[in-house]
Structure formats: structure tokens, C-alpha cells
Structure 1
Amino acid sequence: MTGKTALHCSSWIFPSLLVLNLALTAGCAGKSSTSRYTTVGSSCYAKALPTAGEGGLAWGNTMSMARKKSMDNCMRYAGRSGGTPNTCQVVLAECRH
């Protein structure tokens, strides 16, 4: 009797998971794409890169804040990635309107 019960339960598990997966996918399909890294209220961003290694991108309320944060991130990430932290330079800095 337990063999038939287990077989009966497994017959509805796959269709249920399929329906659940489709429902979750359909719920996300209509949403617009937004950046995960934007901080609410921050309107300026800056990107700093070293000559070797990883750079840093940062958001801030002002241009100078974004530039400072990106330089700090660049030095940190360049050092971790075996790059040259002392060569970091801001290569892009803009504010949204």
C-alpha cells in the first residue's frame, strides 16, 4: 500500500513544481530592469581604474563624494587583485539629472 501512495504523490510533484516555476517567471517578466547597485537618493557616480588590476565604481550624493568612493574602491580592489593601487585614476564621473 505504501508503494502505491508514494507513486501517487510523486505523480503530482513534477507538474506542481512546473506550474510554480512558470508562475514565478511570469511574475518577473513584466518588471523593468533596474540596476542593483544604485543607492536610493544618489545621483552621481564615478569609475576609477588602475593601470593593472580591478577598478571601482561608486555612487554618491555629490560628484566629489562619488569620485572619492570610487578611488577608495579602486585602491582596495586593485590591491586585492594583484594590480597597482597607486595608479588609480577616475576615468568617468557623471550626475543624473
Structure 2
Amino acid sequence: MTGHTVRQCSSRLLLSLLAFNLALTAGCSSKPRTTRYAASGLGSACYAKALPTVGEGGLAWGDTLSMARQKSLNNCIRYASRSGGTPGTCQVVLAECKH
């Protein structure tokens, strides 16, 4: 008789926990979704492109024009080195901000 009561009690407890969990989940599903991580460049208004004389260049976004220039120059140096180019010849060839 005790085993039967314990089994009933544990299954009721399990069902209660499941129902509680579903109720919490349903309550949260009506809240608007918020993006936790912004995509790269989503909030940045400026971009710049730097190219070496030989090899691959780099494009980068930044909050300011100077930040975008510096990032693109760093990317150009990195990519030119990897592609067998000339990283010392990297120059920013395009830089502007969206309005």
C-alpha cells in the first residue's frame, strides 16, 4: 500500500512541476523578444576600406570615421600578410559615414 501511495505522490509531483514549468514558459512567451547581441556593424555609422599594392585588403565598420579607418588598416595588414601581399603598403582608399 505504501509503494502505491509513493508512486501516486511522485507522479502528481512530477505533473505539478511540469504544469508549473509550462505556465512559466507560457507567461514569458508573450514578452517582446530582445536581441542580446547586436550584429557586427549594425550600430556603426562609418566604414572604411584599406588596400595594399599586392594582396587582400580590409573593410571595417566603426562608430567614428577614425575608428573605421584604423580597423580597416589593421585588417588590411593582417589579410595582406596572410595572402602573400605587402602589408607595409596598406592605405585607406575609401572612408565615409552613413547619414
* Aligned residue pairs, count: 61
In the other structure, the counterpart of 1:79 is 81
Residues 64-75 of structure 1 correspond to what in structure 2 (within 5 A)? 64-75=66-77
In the other structure, the counterpart of 1:96 is 98
Amino acid aligned to 1:65 = M
Deviation, 1:53, is 0.1
SS of residue in 1 equivalent to 2:59: strand
- Structure 1 segments, 4+ long, off by >4 Å, are none
Q: Could you state the TM-score of these two structures normalised by the residue count of structure 1? A: 0.61
Amino acid aligned to 2:53 = T
Greater gyration radius: 2
Gaps of 5+ in 2: 1-38
In the other structure, the counterpart of 2:45 is 43
In the other structure, the counterpart of 1:52 is 54
Deviations 1:48-89 (A, max 9, x none): 000000000000000000000000000000000000000000
Q: Identity of paired residues, percent?
A: 75
Q: CA separation in 1, counterparts of 2:61 and 2:78?
A: 16
Amino acid aligned to 1:54 = E
Over the aligned positions, Cα root-mean-square deviation in angstroms equals 1.2
Deviation, 1:38, is 5.4
Q: CA separation in 1, counterparts of 2:65 and 2:78?
A: 20
SS of residue in 2 equivalent to 1:65: helix
